[in-house]
């Protein structure tokens, strides 16, 4: 299927206050340029990311959702990120059953010193979603009527 | 439900230029103009430096004149200036939590050079903040009392300095040291660069001070087992390992050591070059003075016979039945100064350490050249008698090497030059070769010391050594160690035969630094060093309130820097103790009990055991004092009745909608 080259994916990022938000700060401070497609929202811990937030973001038109937290074993709140991982795997399974490509919802670990790694993750995810094309859940839900035909046509 | 402000939001939005830092990439005027049209926004301005006092005045005046009840500043990271702007709100009589910051510098302007995209992203972040702030609620910071006691972990020069500074200021310190004596690596060194003063001579008075200080509880031969609590109120459990010597009875006379019939190689203090008895003090000036029995090698512990130490002890202090003791105490702050490990030179097989007898590590050489060391300060080959006539010192072993550690260990150049000086001093006829990549001598008197060593006649050869071998190619190389190197200053391969090779091993993080980081809830970087709160402006604090770091545990550094950090950490702690109470962020979870179904899903999720279940009412409750505000229970509550203050579902949902304003607009627009 030919892809729209003008398509700029919109990715919502949930960054934990202690590691990944700081990693994004560091990427900026170090002037590491990366895709401007990820729009960050700060949460205290990746464990705060309610699966509803992800669904809400996709519902509101995001093409993908990135959840970033501290590395396992380095969570500021001992093991919040492990709970994130657990929820994430279940959520992704559910989303897969809805037909969502797994690349659209990603979980990455980035410590406060890993600005470069976070920037690379954003770049990689942006390109993966660009290749997949827009998600268009809101339009889909607005039209309601025909399902797959609409998606294809879009 | 928590009460929601009934008043209509009257929002002020301020877009910071940050000089050209933001304005150079983001069209700030356009963002401000656009923000002015958002629902609820009363005023939107852009300004050169919002964090300046003029910028803050702007906010304060608008709050008063335009009756604003919500403030959004789009500028740098909230980790940088959130406090500043909250302060401005408070000054104008607005609850500081009616403020939200959009990070359009680090996360936007600095992360791209695409001006259109950056402006677009700035709008999204601003709309997210504007939407979110509407749902903000007034909050009050939580006051926390600071226990005036402090735990210092690690009894090297960093920990000693920190402990003494605090103790001298009148505060009680628990100093926990893993090995039988404090002193750390510095106690093992002979001379210190660049002044060449004797390491022990400057260190031992401080050790004695620690041992005698009325404000210091010294727990040597002990390890921290558990850490609970938070800033101001930590509960520490320390395992005091059994010395098998009763400290109340022992006078430190040393007769037991004298009478102990068994000697083993001392792999710790003497770096494997010397012997120690099985009941031992690591070194004569050890603090505390009490010896310790090495039960693994003790004839009594292994075979049930001997008891020589017990028989000869004049005060009956030997106690074979002594057991580990668990000690629990309360502290308000913690300083971690756990030091470093030396890079294991065996990991570089081509340098031959462990295989070629006369290849030594830097620590072995330190002990050898020390007058109190195993050779009495004589520089000799492994046979113990032959003095080397030529010595090669290889810099950067394990440092500045992508295969091992990419970072520079900072101290090796200087101590290698010190070695060159010491060899020339003790063996004036010996030739000394230093193989270096670059000479790094940044410090007071360091460059001068380098020149001094140069003039003393050391040969400095620029090039990374490829190999140390005993395979001779020419008659002159027979029986020697040959250092194969490309001399990059003359562009030639050279083979230099020497009698002794010293490997200047770098500093690396402690092997168990990850576990220590977990125990104290600190961050650990890729190399295993503990992460400071800010690399420049907050080098001794960590991300965890009340936990500070000092010395090489934070990264490689020399003694002056280590001492400075130890004192700095102590000053930070003293400041907190002096305040008596500190205000903590009121980011805490709260369960709406009326709506709680008592399912208990949240109970086991809390890493701090802050959620209790009331059997009688079948309801869960969050103990605010224990809650750290991570929000993992909030995300998990199936009834959605736990709110996380300042990170409520309402706030985050609103922010999601705002951040995605453009795609939402597109979707709802008629196609």
Q: Taking chain A, what is the end-to-end CA distance rounded to the nearest angstrom?
A: 11
Whether the predicted pLDDT of A148 surpasses 70: no
- Which of B509, B635, B648, B650 should one mutate to test binding to chain A, selecting the residue with the greatest count of A CBs within 10 A? B635
B592 & B664 share domain: no
- Which residues of chain A does B112 touch, with a Cβ-Cβ cutoff of 8 Å? 33-36
The interaxial angle of helices A20-29 and A115-132, nearest 10 deg, is 100
Report percent pLDDT > 90 for chain B: 90
Distance from CA of A56 to the nearest CA of B (A): 7
Cβ <8 Å between A83 and B632: yes
Distances (CA, A) of B538 to B80, B409, B569, B584: 12, 21, 10, 18
Distance from CA of B630 to the nearest CA of A (A): 5
Return the structure tokens found at B116: 């259109």
The answer to whether position A1 is within a domain reads no
**What is the gyration radius of the CA atoms in chain B, in angstroms?**
31
CA dist., res. B256 & res. B430, Å (int): 42
B654 & B619 share domain: no
B483 & B608 share domain: no
Q: What is the mean pLDDT of residues B92-118?
A: 96
> By the CB < 8 Å criterion, does A136 face chain B?
yes
Give me the pLDDT at residue B67, please: 95
B341 backbone dihedrals φ, ψ, rounded to 5°: -110, 150
Q: What is the mean pLDDT of residues B233-253?
A: 96
Return the structure tokens found at B223: 């390890």
Grade residue B2 by pLDDT with cuts at 50, 70 and 90: very low
Judge contact between B405 and B529, C-beta under 8 A: no
Strands B41-47, B11-16: pairing is: parallel
For residue B267, count CB atoms less than 10 angstroms from its CB and return exposed for 0-12, middle for 13-18, buried for 19 or more: exposed
> By the CB < 8 Å criterion, does A116 face chain B?
no
> Could you give the number of structural domains in chain A?
1
Q: Could you tell me how many helices (H) and strands (E) chain A has, helices first?
A: 6, 4
Give me the pLDDT at residue B285, please: 94
The domain boundary residue, chosen from B461, B482, B508? B508
Grade residue B230 by pLDDT with cuts at 50, 70 and 90: confident
- Which of A36, A40, A46 should one mutate to test binding to chain B, selecting the residue with the greatest count of B CBs within 10 A? A36
Whether the predicted pLDDT of B12 surpasses 50: yes
Task: Name which of A33, A62, A139 is nearest B112 (Cβ-Cβ).
Answer: A33
B269 vs B666, more confident: B269
Give me the pLDDT at residue B6, please: 54
Return the structure tokens found at B33: 């103009």
The answer to whether position A5 is within a domain reads no
DSSP codes joined into one string, A66-119: EEEEPPTT-BTTBSHHHHHHHHHHHHHHHHHHTT--GGGEEEEE--TT-HHHHH
* Residue B12 host element (H or E): strand B11-16
Mean pLDDT of chain B: 94
B384 & B500 share domain: yes
- Which of A44, A136, A144 should one mutate to test binding to chain B, selecting the residue with the greatest count of B CBs within 10 A? A44
Judge contact between B522 and B549, C-beta under 8 A: yes
Cβ <8 Å between A34 and B636: no
Give me the pLDDT at residue B526, please: 80
Distance from CA of B414 to the nearest CA of A (A): 28
Give me the pLDDT at residue B671, please: 43
> By the CB < 8 Å criterion, does A62 face chain B?
yes
Give me the pLDDT at residue A78, please: 83
CA dist., res. B45 & res. B13, Å (int): 6
Tens digit of each residue's pLDDT (9 = 90 or more) over A89-101: 999 999 999 999 9
Q: How is residue B69 annotated by DSSP?
A: -
Cβ <8 Å between B78 and A18: no
> By the CB < 8 Å criterion, does A4 face chain B?
no
Opening angle at CA B321, ends B317 and B325, nearest 5: 90
Give me the pLDDT at residue A51, please: 95
B380 & B395 share domain: yes
Return the structure tokens found at A41: 């929202």
Domain that includes residue B29, residue range:
11-141+649-668
A14 beta partners = A41, A67
Tens digit of each residue's pLDDT (9 = 90 or more) over B186-203: 999 999 999 999 999 999
CA dist., res. A13 & res. A80, Å (int): 17
Give me the pLDDT at residue B584, please: 87
The answer to whether position A52 is within a domain reads yes
Whether the predicted pLDDT of B143 surpasses 50: yes
Identify each DSSP E strand in B79-148 by its residue range: 99-103, 142-145
Distance from CA of B521 to the nearest CA of A (A): 6
Give me the pLDDT at residue A146, please: 54
Grade residue A123 by pLDDT with cuts at 50, 70 and 90: very high
The domain boundary residue, chosen from B508, B535, B553? B508
Which domain CATH number covers B21? 3.40.50
CA dist., res. B119 & res. B129, Å (int): 15
**CA dihedral (B366, B372, B377, B382) positive or negative:** negative
CA dist., res. B370 & res. B377, Å (int): 5
- Which residues of chain B does A79 touch, with a Cβ-Cβ cutoff of 8 Å? 607
The answer to whether position B615 is within a domain reads yes
Give me the pLDDT at residue A153, please: 57
B380 & B482 share domain: yes
The answer to whether position A96 is within a domain reads yes
- Which residues of chain A does B524 touch, with a Cβ-Cβ cutoff of 8 Å? 74
Cis peptide bond upstream of B194, omega within 30: yes
Task: Name which of B524, B607, B663 is nearest A62 (Cβ-Cβ).
Answer: B663
Those residues whose C-beta lies under 8 Å from the C-beta of residue B337, and which sit 6 or more positions away, are B152, B153, B154, B156, B158, B159, B162, B549, B550, B551, B553, B566, B569
Cis peptide bond upstream of B288, omega within 30: yes
Q: What is the mean pLDDT of residues B18-39?
A: 96
DSSP codes joined into one string, B418-475: HHHHHHHHH-TT-EEEEEESS----STTHHHHHHHHHHTTPEEEES-EEEEE---SSG
Task: Name which of B109, B128, B630 is nearest A45 (Cβ-Cβ).
Answer: B630
The answer to whether position A6 is within a domain reads no
Give me the pLDDT at residue B545, please: 87
Distance from CA of A69 to the nearest CA of B (A): 12
Domain that includes residue A142, residue range:
11-153
Least reliable range by pLDDT among B4-18, B114-128, B206-220, B495-509: B4-18
Could you report the predicted ipTM of this complex, rounded to two decimals? 0.92
Which domain CATH number covers B406? 3.50.50.60
CB atoms near residue B380 (< 10 Å): 17
CA dist., res. B109 & res. B20, Å (int): 10
Least reliable range by pLDDT among B377-381, B519-523, B569-573: B519-523
Grade residue B3 by pLDDT with cuts at 50, 70 and 90: very low
Distance from CA of A1 to the nearest CA of B (A): 22
pTM above threshold 0.80: yes
CA dist., res. B644 & res. B472, Å (int): 72
Q: What is the mean pLDDT of residues B397-422?
A: 96
Least reliable range by pLDDT among A131-135, B205-209, B229-233: B229-233
- Which residues of chain B does A58 touch, with a Cβ-Cβ cutoff of 8 Å? none
Least reliable range by pLDDT among A133-147, B359-373, B376-390: A133-147
Tens digit of each residue's pLDDT (9 = 90 or more) over B419-464: 999 999 999 999 999 999 999 999 999 999 999 999 999 999 999 9
Q: What is the mean pLDDT of residues B570-593?
A: 94
Whether the predicted pLDDT of A5 surpasses 70: no
The answer to whether position A25 is within a domain reads yes
Report percent pLDDT > 70 for chain B: 98
B600 & B655 share domain: no
Identify each DSSP E strand in B463-543 by its residue range: 465-469, 481-487, 492-498, 500-505, 507-509
CA dist., res. A144 & res. A135, Å (int): 15
Distance from CA of B1 to the nearest CA of A (A): 19
Closest to A58 measured CA to CA, from A20, A99, A19: A99
B620 beta partners = B613
Cβ <8 Å between B647 and A48: yes
Reduced to 3 states (helix: H, G, I; strand: E, B; else coil), residue B9 is: coil
The answer to whether position B365 is within a domain reads yes
**What is the gyration radius of the CA atoms in chain A, in angstroms?**
16
CA dist., res. B617 & res. B135, Å (int): 31
Give me the pLDDT at residue B668, please: 59
Give me the pLDDT at residue B9, please: 95
Using CA coordinates, name the residue in chain A closest to B662.
A61
CA dist., res. B363 & res. B370, Å (int): 11
The answer to whether position A28 is within a domain reads yes
Grade residue A73 by pLDDT with cuts at 50, 70 and 90: confident
> Could you give the number of structural domains in chain B?
3
Which domain CATH number covers B594? 3.30.70.20
- Which of B632, B633, B649 should one mutate to test binding to chain A, selecting the residue with the greatest count of A CBs within 10 A? B632
The domain boundary residue, chosen from B482, B508, B534? B508
Q: Taking chain B, what is the end-to-end CA distance rounded to the nearest angstrom?
A: 39
The answer to whether position A2 is within a domain reads no
Whether the predicted pLDDT of B406 surpasses 50: yes
Reduced to 3 states (helix: H, G, I; strand: E, B; else coil), residue B3 is: coil
Q: How is residue B533 annotated by DSSP?
A: S
Which domain CATH number covers A111? 3.40.50
> By the CB < 8 Å criterion, does A67 face chain B?
no
CA dist., res. B249 & res. B247, Å (int): 5
Judge contact between B273 and B375, C-beta under 8 A: yes
Judge contact between B330 and B233, C-beta under 8 A: yes
B594 & B453 share domain: no
CA atoms within 13 A on the CB side of B197: 7
Distance of CA A52 to the CA centre of its chain: 13
Q: What is the mean pLDDT of residues B262-269?
A: 94
Give me the pLDDT at residue A76, please: 84
């Amino acid at each position: 299927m030919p892809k729209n080259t003008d398509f700029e994916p919109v990715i919502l990022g949930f960054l934990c206050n202690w590691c990944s938000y700081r990693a994004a700060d560091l990427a900026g401070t170090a002037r590491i340029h990366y895709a401007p497609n990820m729009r960050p929202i700060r949460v205290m811990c990746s464990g705060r990311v309610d699966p509803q937030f992800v669904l809400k973001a996709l519902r509101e038109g995001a093409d993908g959702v990135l959840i970033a937290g501290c590395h396992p074993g380095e969570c500021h709140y001992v093991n919040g990120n492990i709970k994130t991982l657990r929820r994430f795997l279940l959520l992704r399974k559910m989303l897969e059953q809805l037909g969502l490509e797994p690349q659209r919802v990603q979980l990455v670990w980035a410590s406060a010193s890993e600005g470069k790694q976070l920037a690379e993750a954003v770049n990689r995810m942006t390109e993966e979603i660009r290749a997949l094309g827009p998600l268009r859940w809101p339009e889909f839900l607005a039209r309601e009527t025909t399902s797959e035909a609409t998606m294809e046509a879009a | 439900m928590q009460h929601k402000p009934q008043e209509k939001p009257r929002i002020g939005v301020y877009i910071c230029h940050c000089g050209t830092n933001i304005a150079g990439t983001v069209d700030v005027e356009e963002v401000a103009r656009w923000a002015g049209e958002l629902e609820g926004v009363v005023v939107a301005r852009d300004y050169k430096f919002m964090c300046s006092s003029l910028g803050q005045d702007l906010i304060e005046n608008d709050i008063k004149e335009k009756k604003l009840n919500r403030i959004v500043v789009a500028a740098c990271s909230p980790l940088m200036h959130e406090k500043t702007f909250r302060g401005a709100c408070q000054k104008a009589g607005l609850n500081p939590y009616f403020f939200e910051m959009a990070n359009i510098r680090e996360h936007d302007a600095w992360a791209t050079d695409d001006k259109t995209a950056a402006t677009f992203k700035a709008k999204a972040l601003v709309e997210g903040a504007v939407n979110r702030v509407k749902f903000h609620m007034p909050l009050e910071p939580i006051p926390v009392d600071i226990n005036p006691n402090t735990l210092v972990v690690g009894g090297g020069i960093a920990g000693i300095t920190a402990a003494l500074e605090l103790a001298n200021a009148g505060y009680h310190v628990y100093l926990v040291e893993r090995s039988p004596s404090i002193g750390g690596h510095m106690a093992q060194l002979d001379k210190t660069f660049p002044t060449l003063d004797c390491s022990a001579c400057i260190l031992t008075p401080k050790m004695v001070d620690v041992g005698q200080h009325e404000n210091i509880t010294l727990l040597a031969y002990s390890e921290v087992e558990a850490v609970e609590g938070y800033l101001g109120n930590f509960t520490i459990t320390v395992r005091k390992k059994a010395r098998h010597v009763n400290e109340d009875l022992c006078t430190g006379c040393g007769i037991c050591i004298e009478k102990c019939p068994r000697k083993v190689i001392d792999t710790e203090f003497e770096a494997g070059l010397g012997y120690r008895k099985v009941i031992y003090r690591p070194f004569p000036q050890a603090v505390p003075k009490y010896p310790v029995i090495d039960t693994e090698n003790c004839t009594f512990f292994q075979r049930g016979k001997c008891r020589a130490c017990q028989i000869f002890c004049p005060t009956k202090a030997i106690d074979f039945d002594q057991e580990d003791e668990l000690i629990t105490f309360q502290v308000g702050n913690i300083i971690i100064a756990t030091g470093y490990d030396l890079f294991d030179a065996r990991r570089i097989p081509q340098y031959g350490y462990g295989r070629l007898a006369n290849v030594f590590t830097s620590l072995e050489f330190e002990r050898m050249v020390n007058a109190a060391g195993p050779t009495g300060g004589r520089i000799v080959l492994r046979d113990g008698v032959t003095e080397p006539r030529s010595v090669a010192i290889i810099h950067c072993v394990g440092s500045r090497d992508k295969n091992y550690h990419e970072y520079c260990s900072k101290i090796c150049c200087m101590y290698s030059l010190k070695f060159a000086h010491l060899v020339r001093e003790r063996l004036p006829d010996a030739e000394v070769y230093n193989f270096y990549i670059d000479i790094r001598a940044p410090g007071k008197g360091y460059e001068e010391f380098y020149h001094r060593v140069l003039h003393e006649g050391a040969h400095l050869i620029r090039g990374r050594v490829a190999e140390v071998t005993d395979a001779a190619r020419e008659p002159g190389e027979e029986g020697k160690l040959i250092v194969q190197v490309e001399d990059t200053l003359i562009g030639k391969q050279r083979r230099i035969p020497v009698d002794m090779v010293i490997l200047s091993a770098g500093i690396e993080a402690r092997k168990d630094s990850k576990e220590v980081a977990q125990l104290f809830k600190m961050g650990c970087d890729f190399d295993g060093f503990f992460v400071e709160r800010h690399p420049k402006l907050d080098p001794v604090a960590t991300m965890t309130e009340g936990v500070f770091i000092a010395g090489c545990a934070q990264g490689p550094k020399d003694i002056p820097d280590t001492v400075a950090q130890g004192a700095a950490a102590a000053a930070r702690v003293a400041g907190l103790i002096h305040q008596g109470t500190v205000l903590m962020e009121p980011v805490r979870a709260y369960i709406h009990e009326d709506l709680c179904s008592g399912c208990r899903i949240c109970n086991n999720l809390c890493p701090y055991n802050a959620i209790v279940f009331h059997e009688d009412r079948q309801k869960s409750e969050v103990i605010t004092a224990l809650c750290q505000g991570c929000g993992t229970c909030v995300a998990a509550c199936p009834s959605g009745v736990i709110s996380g203050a300042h990170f409520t579902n309402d706030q985050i949902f609103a922010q999601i909608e705002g951040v995605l304003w453009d795609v939402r607009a597109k979707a709802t627009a008629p196609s």
